[in-house]
Amino acid sequence: MRRIGIAVLAVVFLAVAGCATRPADPDLARQFDEINDPWEPVNRGIFAFNGVLDAAVVKPLAVGYRFITPQFVRTGVSNFFENLRTPMYLANDLMQADGAKACDSLRRLLVNTTIGVGGLFDPASHWDIPKKDNDFGRTLAVWGVERGPYFVRPFFGASTIRDAAGWGVDLFLIPTDYLILDQPEIYWSKAALYNISEREQAIEFIENLQRSSTDMYVTVRSLYLQNRTKEIAAARGEKSAPGYAFEFDTDD
Amino acid sequence: MKKIGVFLIVLMLSFGAAASDPAIKFVQDLADEIIAKVLTNSESTDKRLKSFRQTFVSAVDLPGVGKFVLGTYWKKATPAEQQEFLKVFTDFTTKTWADRFGLYNGQQIVFSGSRNAGQNQLYVDSQIQNNPPSEVIWRLKRDADSYKIIDIIVEGVSMAMTYRNEYMAFLQTRGGRVGDLTRELAQKSAEFKFTTH
């Protein structure tokens, strides 16, 4: 009953907030189609909510975390989480039939779990098996699923319909999470520390963006979509090259 | 998001590669110059910004990029508005990128080759040797007997495309008034604070 209520509420919310309208100008219309963000008004609302949460809670925690820990501890924490996620990368490498990448992920997992003391250290990188991530959103793309509209996830930020679905699947591909599933305090502490650790590494970059952007919503959307296009091209084994032309030399 | 951050934050020591390719040599020399003048230099922020500006403005086709980022609105602006926009855009972009280059961590940059991009343009492929390695593509156009940079693409994120998305969205909600955008950028530029270390 409650679930139906939420679904009805969501539909009403979408209907009330309305959709973005396609501009008449051909240049703007092309950009509108490429970006594919029909739920922009709703997405902006969620983005604003995430921004408030970040400024009030997540960023202060990240800054505090940096203040109280030395760099080698933070590197260890980041390595540890990376190692826990490697089985998920491996699963996606395999589903994308990328043998070379799967081999690298497996070697990283074995080397870093053993010699790297449970993943706290990253000796694999020193032996020329650099980090490579992967996710089910990319797997879906390799399988031919279209990306669908841009979508800002509450709490977790920029995504698309396909990538958000993929992200949901990836949560089930991290085997160690099953060990702590019945201990919510540990599970959520782990999740919190992971997100704070990730946020800490982006402090300067996000500040630079905030100082330079006239509209963070548009900037983040642009960065996310361009970066994903590149990652998906790489997953398909294509050489990435920006697909737009600088036409201004011949225009006038 | 974080990843792109790391990619942009870490720049760059030029290294190895086929310096016989003139396009690669152009980018490599530019990187060396930025490191020498800006990153490993202990002068005041003002002085370093000044020498960065000199290098950046002569190497990057900022008038061309500025025109591109306004898209359909460029032609709708008056020549005076266009000139004023280019002036402010040059100033602001220089500051933003000086700050990004300033977040330097000492990784090496390895050039792997250049590719034709049509229309008298080419890409120079490079990789910053951080972990994981990040891909940086320099988009150049031939300019007499030298080159000009028209875009820097870090892990798929194009500088020119990002500005274009942002500014066209801005102008769309402001009735296409380029003067409004210029004022907004001038204000952000005046307030710009550099990252402290």
pLDDT at A2 over 60: no
pTM for the structure as a whole? 0.89
Return the amino acid letter for B143. D
Q: For the residues B9-31, what does the mean pLDDT come to?
A: 68
Position A188 confidence tier, pLDDT thresholds 50, 70, 90 = very high
Distance from CA of A202 to the nearest CA of B (A): 5
- A229 and B6 within 8 Å at the Cβ level: the answer is no
- What is the chain B residue with the closest CA to A244? B161
- B103 and A212 within 8 Å at the Cβ level: the answer is no
Return the amino acid letter for B148. K
- B151 and A242 within 8 Å at the Cβ level: the answer is yes
Residues of A in Cβ contact (< 8 Å) with B123: 241
Angle between helices B2-9 and A184-201 (to 10 degrees): 30
Helix (H, G, I), strand (E, B) or coil at A23: coil
- What is the chain B residue with the closest CA to A240? B156
Position A17 confidence tier, pLDDT thresholds 50, 70, 90 = low
pLDDT at B44 over 60: yes
Position B195 confidence tier, pLDDT thresholds 50, 70, 90 = confident
**Nearest CB to B4; choose among A122, A223, A242:** A223
pLDDT at A91 over 50: yes
Predicted confidence at residue B7, as pLDDT, reads 44
Q: Quote the ipTM score.
A: 0.87
Within chain B, where are the H helices?
2-9, 22-34, 45-59, 62-70, 73-76, 79-102, 159-173, 178-191
- A226 and B157 within 8 Å at the Cβ level: the answer is yes
- What are the tokens at A23? 């501009």
Instruction: State the Cα–Cα distance between residues B14 and B111, nearest whole angstrom.
Output: 8
Residues of B in Cβ contact (< 8 Å) with A250: 119
Question: Phi and psi dihedrals of B134, rounded to 5?
Answer: -115, 145
- Which residues, in sequence order, are CB contacts of B39 under 8 Å at separation 6+? B11, B101, B102, B104
- A215 and B103 within 8 Å at the Cβ level: the answer is no
Give the tens place of pLDDT for each residue, A96-142.
999 999 999 999 999 999 999 999 999 999 998 999 999 999 999 99
Predicted confidence at residue A3, as pLDDT, reads 60
* Substitution target from A249, A250, A251, A252 for chain B, most B beta carbons within 10 A: A249
Helix (H, G, I), strand (E, B) or coil at A98: coil
- A158 and B172 within 8 Å at the Cβ level: the answer is no
Predicted confidence at residue B61, as pLDDT, reads 95
- What is the chain A residue with the closest CA to B2? A202
Give the tens place of pLDDT for each residue, A134-185.
999 999 999 999 999 999 999 999 999 999 999 999 999 999 999 999 999 9
Neighbours of A249 (CB within 10 A): 16
- Which residues, in sequence order, are CB contacts of B120 under 8 Å at separation 6+? A249, B141, B142
Percent of all residues in chain B with a pLDDT value above 70, rounded to a whole number: 88
Percent of all residues in chain A with a pLDDT value above 90, rounded to a whole number: 79
- A223 and B1 within 8 Å at the Cβ level: the answer is yes
Give the tens place of pLDDT for each residue, B75-109.
999 999 999 999 999 999 999 988 887 766 677 88
* Substitution target from A37, A63, A208, A213 for chain B, most B beta carbons within 10 A: A208
A178, with CB counted inside 10 A (0-12, 13-18, 19+), is exposed
Top pLDDT among B20 and B5 is at B20
Give the tens place of pLDDT for each residue, B88-97.
999 999 999 8
Give the tens place of pLDDT for each residue, B129-156.
888 888 999 999 998 888 999 999 999 9
- What is the chain A residue with the closest CA to B7? A205
Residues of A in Cβ contact (< 8 Å) with B150: 246
**Residue-by-residue DSSP string for A159-212:** EEHHHHHHHHHHGGG-HHHHHTTT-HHHHHHHHHHHHHHHHHHTHHHHHHHHHH
- A206 and B117 within 8 Å at the Cβ level: the answer is no
| Average pLDDT, rounded, for chain B | 86
